[in-house]
Structure 1
Amino acid sequence: MYVEKTFTPQQLFEMVWERPVLIIAKEIGVSDVGLSKAYRKAGITLPTRGHWAKPAPKRPRRPKPPTSTTPITFHVLNVEKAVRLEPENVIKDPKMLIVPTELSDPHPSVKKCLSAARKAKELNNALVFDKTKVLNSHISRTEVDRCALLYDSLIKASESSGYTCGIGSNVSFVRVDGEELLITIQERIKRFDIPPPPPKPFKPGQRWEPDFAAMRAARFGREPIGVFSLIVDARSEVLIQKTWTDSKTGTLESKLGQILTGFVRTAASVKAQRSSDEASRRRRAEEERVRTERIDQQRRLDKLRQNLMRNLESWERAQGLRAFIQAAVEASPPGEATQMALAMWVSWATQQVELLDPLKVDQILAREIMLLRHVAKLEKEIDRLEGLRIVKFPKK
């Protein structure tokens, strides 16, 4: 039910400096507050308050347009699709929307609920069904019959429309288009203050003692007022009605058709929300992968720099040792025994210098070249992925 509308920062800049934010928000399909947040997040300067009330010659000059080229995407309601999803033809028989005044031939789940209500205990003036799978409700004992009548009419109308109603563990649900929507009926409980008990009379000469009974007395009371609300518990998109309440416009009995229509809207919204959540999850996973690749790349670069400095130090030591060997040869006395010992020492020292010199160890250079090529490939891949990223803003 939602679509994406994408604009460049330059387009949004031109729009906001030609018309007020309220008009632009209405055209896009978002709220003016959400649009202003998107502008500020993108670094676009907005006109000050009272800008459009001034004559054109007295208005401040436009600031410089933004330099960013990252597109900005808004999630807006698809009005045409929402109209097509209106389930007016789902309810084929208008008579099933009429709630009778008396309960006759109740649904099996309603029978079970009535039987459990007679045995249920009360807590804060509401029935508590312990370890009993019944229709989910939070009502007083005096409103059990009305709740059963509402549930009976709702379940029969839902099943006539092709929906499935059921009872789970402490939940009741209606399955619409493969989506399970948790439903419950709640009665509004009014809380009122209980005046404190009058103090006990104090006799002359009597020792004072604290009145613990007054301290432990209840401060608040609860009283059911008979106002019902039917609540659908489902993770859906915004702007979807999921609560219907007794009000001046009508009771729940007169809103049964609206409730059945709301079931279809909510089920479609749940599917759309799940699709949006999955897209967000994939986007976050891709961003996390790019971040991890960047961290790995930085670690490899740090390791290459450390190896570079270590190889430089080894090369400098090798050069110093070669100079030392040459100086030792030049300073040696000209004796046959001395020259033989010197030749052996020079041969051994030269071998050690060859092992120390990184330029003479082909394996080290090959490994460094391989790491450099791998880092170059990672940089190209990260640049490509960042070019595909789109800035997302929260729905409004």
Structure 2
Amino acid sequence: MPTVSRAELYEQVWKRPLIKVAADYNITGTGLKKICARHEIPTPERGYWAKLQHRKPVRHPPLPDLSDERLAKIHIMGAINPDLSKEVTEAKTRVREKLAEIAKETTPSDGPKKTADEATADVTILSATLRTIRKARPDGEGFVSAKGRGVVPLRIGPPAIERGIALLAQFFSLAGTQGYIPKAIDDGLVLVIDDEPVTFALETPVDRNPHQPTPAELKEQERNARWNMAREPWPKYDYFPSERLSIVIHANAYSGLRRKFSDRRSKPLEQKLPTVLEAFAQHAVFAKERRLEQEEGARQFKEAERLRQLEEAFDAREKHRIEFFEAVHQRIAERQKLVEILAHLNSAADPKFPNAEMIGWLRRRIDQLSALISPAFLNISARAAKVEFAERPKGTGIDPYVYHPPVSLQYWSIDDAAGQARSISALQWIKNGGLLSSAENDERPD
């Protein structure tokens, strides 16, 4: 919140117009005038700057003494553009300073104004706009419109066509002094400022006049009166295109930046073109900042998504590894129990109760489990179940749809010569190992 003294603000408002001083504080000219009145600071009267420019006598009252010392310091809280960056503000200043330098080096032309054809001869990129708008037919309200590739979007009254094209040519010439280039796009024409396209349009606002009823409408009113219908059977106003022109910037809505510049009685739009160009520069910087913010946001989102997928893939691999070793541990625990049972039977052997078949089965089962948890079989079973124990190198792509087969420890028939292994059943492994008794080997299903 800027703080200034009465003397400082008094000096500022008498050096420049109120609206320009107000812009420095991000408030409106009306708001600044109210602040000055509250703090007993006289301000220039209406027409002061025009009179001063033409060297006419003006009134410049001195700063009066304060009636209340609490009003000596002024705290100004800006309400417009509160979030604009320093770069956006500086863009306006750079254009203003450069235009001022150019104005010192050039002599203003007092010759006749150029026609639309002469203007497009100087700024050829407007040729398509001129051709299109001249072919357009007025709509129901009397406006003609133009749009298309390389065409400045227009909605103006026919009498304003010539002046509008000449105004655009003057604006593009002024923009060229800053290195800004008009560029044709599919749905219009944009002004490119430091690689940022700024879209805009040229319009004329709607004017209205009180409607003058026609004889037919008056006659209809008489008929309505017989039925006690008091409503007038004609519109209150007639609407038509005004002769004023407006440049409207179609970018950065709700940014706080000014987007519309129009003719005024005291100042036509041609005299506002430097201010319009300053606004274009600000919009370009603002758009670039927002674009970079969006790109950074997208990059951060993409990186967060990548990390999420990495975490998800890592968790899936960890889960698969744990499942594999839980299966291994289950077989080890089973083997350990059988070993203890076998040891018990061997130590407590009783000739009266021979347990040869039981002991034989225990030994065979222990051999089976030993094979299942052997390093060779574990290695092959892990690869068959796609259990990865090495983390993927950095930069390796992540497949979110990778399928992990169920974890199971299997028996394998290994062909060392061919370097291959084939999954086989427990019975087949027992047969291949010669662990099946002759009675079991000859057994047939019922």
Q: In 1, are the aligned partners of 2:164 and 2:202 still within 8 Å (CA)?
A: yes
Aligned ranges for residues 193-272 of structure 1 at < 5 Å? 223-234=240-251, 238-246=255-263, 250-272=267-289
Aligned ranges for residues 1-396 of structure 1 at < 5 Å? 76-77=85-86, 85-90=94-99, 92-93=102-103, 103=115, 105-108=118-121, 109=124, 110=126, 112-125=128-141, 126-129=143-146, 133-189=150-206, 223-234=240-251, 238-246=255-263, 250-326=267-343, 334=351, 344-356=360-372, 363=379, 374=391
Counterparts in 2 of 1:372 and 1:240: CA distance versus 1, 3 Å: farther
Worse-matched range after superposition: 346-355 or 100-109: 100-109
Q: CA deviation at 1:259?
A: 1.6
Task: Report which structure shows greater RCO (CA 8 Å, sep ≥6).
Answer: 1
Q: In 2, are the aligned partners of 1:229 and 1:246 still within 8 Å (CA)?
A: yes
Distance 2:368 2:361 in 1: 11
Distance 1:329 1:75 in 2: 90
Distance 2:97 2:349 in 1: 109
Cα RMSD between the aligned structures? 5.3
Q: CA deviation at 1:372?
A: 7.7
Amino acid at match of 1:170: D
Q: CA deviation at 1:255?
A: 0.8
Aligned with 1:107: secondary structure?
helix
Distance 2:272 2:182 in 1: 19
Aligned with 1:185: secondary structure?
strand
Amino acid at match of 1:121: R
Aligned with 2:138: secondary structure?
strand
Q: In 1, are the aligned partners of 2:149 and 2:185 still within 8 Å (CA)?
A: no
Distance 2:150 2:92 in 1: 38
Q: In 2, are the aligned partners of 1:329 and 1:342 still within 8 Å (CA)?
A: no
Q: CA deviation at 1:172?
A: 1.5
Counterparts in 2 of 1:84 and 1:153: CA distance versus 1, 3 Å: closer
Counterparts in 2 of 1:115 and 1:301: CA distance versus 1, 3 Å: closer
Counterparts in 2 of 1:95 and 1:265: CA distance versus 1, 3 Å: farther
Amino acid at match of 1:265: Q
Distance 1:160 1:75 in 2: 25
Counterparts in 2 of 1:156 and 1:349: CA distance versus 1, 3 Å: closer
Q: CA deviation at 1:185?
A: 0.7
Distance 1:280 1:362 in 2: 46
Aligned with 1:121: secondary structure?
coil
Counterparts in 2 of 1:79 and 1:107: CA distance versus 1, 3 Å: closer
Counterparts in 2 of 1:226 and 1:304: CA distance versus 1, 3 Å: farther
- TM score, norm. by length of structure 1: 0.53
Q: CA deviation at 1:339?
A: 7.2
Q: CA deviation at 1:333?
A: 6.7
- TM score, norm. by length of structure 2: 0.48
Structure 1: unaligned runs, 5 residues or longer: 1-28, 31-73, 202-213, 378-396
User: Structure 1, residues 149-193: CA drift from partner, whole Å, max 9, x if none?
Assistant: 32132123333554333444331123334443333212234799x
Q: CA deviation at 1:284?
A: 2.5
Structure 2: unaligned runs, 5 residues or longer: 1-24, 27-82, 212-216, 225-232, 395-446
Aligned with 1:351: secondary structure?
helix
Q: CA deviation at 1:256?
A: 0.8
Worse-matched range after superposition: 290-299 or 121-130: 121-130
Distance 1:266 1:184 in 2: 14
- The structure with the largest alpha-carbon Rg is 2
Distance 1:228 1:135 in 2: 14
Distance 1:119 1:102 in 2: 21
Q: In 2, are the aligned partners of 1:321 and 1:353 still within 8 Å (CA)?
A: no
Q: CA deviation at 1:276?
A: 3.4
User: Structure 1, residues 295-340: CA drift from partner, whole Å, max 9, x if none?
Assistant: 23333343344445444443443344434545665787749xx777
Distance 1:175 1:95 in 2: 27
Q: In 2, are the aligned partners of 1:240 and 1:266 still within 8 Å (CA)?
A: yes
* 1:380 aligned partner: none
Distance 1:256 1:87 in 2: 11
Q: In 2, are the aligned partners of 1:154 and 1:256 still within 8 Å (CA)?
A: yes
Matched length: 289
Q: CA deviation at 1:147?
A: 1.5
Q: In 1, are the aligned partners of 2:149 and 2:189 still within 8 Å (CA)?
A: no
Amino acid at match of 1:290: L
